[in-house]
A and B are shown apart, each in its own frame.
Chain A
């Protein structure tokens, strides 16, 4: 049994590692199609990553060891986070009581080093990005706890996979609760993964970038790790988002896997759709947007708690 669990976990991890760039490509492709372009092939992220891996690394003169350390730590953190994912309701590699906290915090570690690495250059562009990242990040963990954490507090389960397993859409109020949670979580995912309307991944103006500007001076393997971690992170959040709907039938059976895949596709579609129809918010308004997400979570929770 334990061996089986480990196997499932490893498989999930590999799934995430393997398909992360594909998912990013998928979203981009859909986005392009929605805006009436042909767009790059869905495999494009793989090509990019492969190319980056083989490129010469150029670093700023003012960079220090942080610049070298940060991509590796980022990547490691993302991998640890990925191994806690209940992909398709499978048993994750890492699952223990309280791993929800570890999940939130290990991404914090990644963020910590990424911000540092951005500031490492001493350029004001990176500083801008880092500052924005830091200020949005303070809302990320609270929202995370308002969504996924609220379920944990209600059900008493503290492991991500257990939390998702406990979700059952048998009662109306609970279903509504879960749906609103998932919406809130979607906003979180958008923020965390620097997608529209928080951040425009395709912008070309340094002054308006957030995530992109932080890695402005990275190239070669450093950039490879950043990009790859970014892709993985996106998939992680998407999997967590879809996991709210596992009760619809996702599981380690043929049907279950199909449902899971459809789920993922659907979310990618929504993501692309949102990115197409919205424009980026003003940076000043961003905290309000995030607070809005938090407020949804709180309201939802209040309604749920007192509606018994």
Chain B
């Protein structure tokens, strides 16, 4: 009988061992194969244990330490286990995908060993982050995660955009770590311990609690990508190799959420205004995240903005939970946190699915611009089906997993309105409308990319589209997870409920009381009807005849790829509504006259925070700083004069010193 800890440590060792393969084996292919097999084996070992622990909770033995880290440096409470499970669940398919992804680069003759090492390092460090209980060690692994992601990100470093985007990420991490320093220092000073589990704030010190909350929000929120700190995501995600960006988007930004949960555990109950702050910020994040996404043409950038959106949705759940905690209202906390936690899992699953899918597309077509794609469905139908699954899931529409978590969050709104009365029904209604609006925009956005990328015919040059078996496995597993969580949420709800009861110790059965059976039944019914109708129409087609012809085009019969609707046009009408906040601008030339010249239309969106605040602000700052000149920075006479001046200055200070 070995304990969970042992399994975890064993799995970490196996994963760490996988790094040795590329170091000691010469051949790239062999090294890659061996490394990935080891890595996946390690991940599965870990996943089994964390899965069992999350889904069949039982008492764990205290167990042993690891690598000189004493046992109390680790924390395997439900929250940590849940995140660990999420991390590993996503890491396995990503690792499988990584193999074929690297094959692609090996085929190009690039050296991929460094990428693998950083990828594996990132996975390992992430798993450590969520289990570590010691603040300093936490920071170490936190930074290790960020840095390995960064180093992986710069794989195609010769590209200008890679340099820029990765630099954003790099700087963002530095800021986060500064904030975390202060956060942990204060907590350490409060308790005299470095263990996260020991951190407490003296009750009644509301100023300190608020300060700490703000610090946590700034630090973890920046990592997670809440607006206005989201600016790094759309810069950093597109340029990373897909394995990295999938993990970055699926998991690493969730570390921010993890941190917020931990901060809440330490600081709870949250002040009411913090709850509202989180709720409002999240709402803005969600709405503008998806709206910005709609205006993008770069598939990965678009997905990055969707990560912002989904972080917003998670944040909405947390905001409700915070408000609940301010009122000491158990049901609100349970539903809010439960929805957020489940959405963490869901988003991790479908976002990595989509990012990995975008990696396949990018590898095959050599572009990330969706305006140049099209017609992929005719070359790789099943791949499109898998991507579509992820798209449906991320839109939060039935019958997949996205709906389940949004459903819980909607329920939390209803609960808040019911429990708190006063002006809450109104506020909650506005929140619900906001969330519904986000859903509508997400539908628009994902119909856009699915339609433009996959349907119709190929724009630009036609290339063969190859999807390897490993890609199918990894995408398939993730898609299956989307379906399973959607159709059969009960075990996942149980798991989440278990985690939530760790955060809200008083407990309550609000999550379980939602009639999940209904959801299962209805979704089954829905699929059954759809399938039945599908087969009926198929049978009818056989009976009454079926043929293919050119598309209707008002009698014009030479419909070409260039005549298809473009992504810019598709989204134009919606983006036009919010021209200012989106920085949306278009360039169009309509042909006029009898012999019109060629006409065109393009639209661009400039991130408000990035392009209006950060870039010009930084430029202004630089010019301001460059204007400062110490006189005579080159002349020895001034050097000597400074000695005299400083002596005089210090003497004056000394003279005035009392």
Please give the residue numbers on chain A whose beta carbons come within 8 Å of chain B beta carbons, in ascending order. Answer: 53-66, 68-69, 71-73, 75-77, 79-80, 94, 96-99, 101-102, 104-106, 108-109, 111-112, 115-116, 119-128, 130-132, 134-135, 137-142, 144-146, 149-150, 152-154, 156, 158, 206, 216-217, 220-222, 224-225, 283, 287, 301-302, 305
Contacts and interface: CB of A to CB of B under 8 A. Distances in A.
Given A75-B533, A80-B529, A115-B447, A122 B456 contact: yes
B531 to A, nearest CB: 7
Contact of B526 (A68, A76, A108, A156): A76
Contact of A302 (B396, B403, B426): B426
Contacts of B565: 119, 124, 126-128, 130-131
B89 interface: no
Contact of A108 (B397, B522, B573): B397
Contact of B426 (A69, A153, A283): A153
Contacts of A58: 546-549
A1 B513 CA distance: 22
A125 B428 CA distance: 40
A302 B384 CA distance: 46
Given A130-B570, A305-B425, A102 B398 contact: yes
Nearest to A112: B443
B407 interface: yes
Given A60-B549, A139-B440, A106 B433 contact: no
Contacts of A125: 552-554
Contact of A116 (B375, B447, B546, B561): B447
Contacts, number: 273
Contact of A73 (B457, B530, B573): B530
Contact of B377 (A66, A105, A123): A66
Given A57-B540, A141-B433, 4 more contacts: A62-B455, A71-B533, A109-B398, A125-B554
A187 B82 CA distance: 45
B531 A72 contact: yes
Contacts of B378: 62, 64
A138 B407 contact: no
A76 B212 CA distance: 50
B437 interface: yes
Nearest to A216: B552
B533 A76 contact: yes
Contacts of B452: 119
B2 interface: no
Contacts of B527: 76
B444 A145 contact: no
Contact of A146 (B392, B396, B433): B433
Contacts of A132: 573
B436 A145 contact: yes
B428 A153 contact: yes
B392 A109 contact: yes
A283 B569 CA distance: 14
B539 to A, nearest CB: 9
B398 A142 contact: no
Contacts of A105: 396-398, 403, 406, 439
B646 interface: no
A145 B537 contact: no
Query: Can you list the 4 inter-chain pairs with the closest CB atoms, starting with the nearest?
Result: A127-B565, A122-B456, A119-B451, A138-B440
Contacts of A119: 447, 450-452, 455-456, 565, 570
Contacts of B532: 72
A162 to B, nearest CB: 12
Contacts of B561: 122
B564 interface: yes
B395 A112 contact: yes
Nearest to B517: A96
B551 A121 contact: yes
Contacts of B577: 287
Contacts of B392: 109, 112
A158 B454 CA distance: 38
Interface string B416-438: 01100001011011001100110
A109 B553 CA distance: 28
B448 interface: yes
B545 interface: yes
B549 A116 contact: no
Contacts of B570: 119, 127, 130-131, 134
A301 B426 contact: yes
A153 B549 contact: no
B525 A80 contact: yes
Nearest to A55: B544
B381 A62 contact: no
Given A121-B551, A150-B429, A217-B551, A156 B414 contact: yes
Given A76-B530, A109-B397, A153 B432 contact: yes
A128 B454 CA distance: 17
A158 to B, nearest CB: 5
A138 B398 contact: no
Contacts of B454: 64
B466 interface: no
Nearest to B543: A54
B439 A156 contact: no
A94 B525 CA distance: 11
